[in-house]
Structure 1
Amino acid sequence: MKERCVNNLGGKVLMMDAKPDEVNEYVRKNTAEQYEIYPDFEFRGLHMLLAKPMLVGLKIKKKKIIMPFTKLCPKYGTVLYEIDAEDGDFEAIRSGLKRVE
């Protein structure tokens, strides 16, 4: 069975019940690099739940990742998280996703 609980990643909630355009705008304005993340992309063994492709962002100097996830729990919708990057996370995103210029 695919792992789909984003709470296992830890991190800080930046936005809750966000629209995809709000997520993308935040990621563009607040990160050094942006990549298009698609539904079911696997990150640290977690298959990402998303209503549609959105942006994930990298904060290189702070070693943070800004990542959207759609929670199935009522009232949450799409949540934008800031998580601590672990060794290999930036490379996994860079090699697995398309960079947005």
Structure 2
Amino acid sequence: MDAKQGSAEERSVESAQTPRASQEDTQRTTVRRLSWMLAWGLPLVALIVGIALTNTGAIEQWTPAGDEMYDVIMLAVWPAGLVLLAVGALGLTAAALTAAVLTTRR
């Protein structure tokens, strides 16, 4: 009888610990997936915006100067595009290298 009671107590202890362990695993998996989405998503967005700004080159800013006249100011956006292009490329390279290192079996 004691053996049956002992095994029942062990099962109740195991069942009490299992939901907590699975909840921690679920949280850990969720955090890991979110971090991977950010690690790949942010550089990808920076790369796309960098390509768009580099392709645009300059934008016009019109300010009214009086009787149907406007002052037009040209703002160069291609330098910011080049910076974002470089940041996106380096970020994607870093994410790819990290993924390669973490998924390599020993």
**Shorter-chain TM-score: what band?**
under 0.3
Q: Which has the higher contact order (CA 8 A, sep 6+)?
A: 1
Larger radius of gyration: 2
Q: TM-score, normalised by structure 1?
A: 0.21
Q: TM-score, normalised by structure 2?
A: 0.21
Say which structure is richer in helix: 2
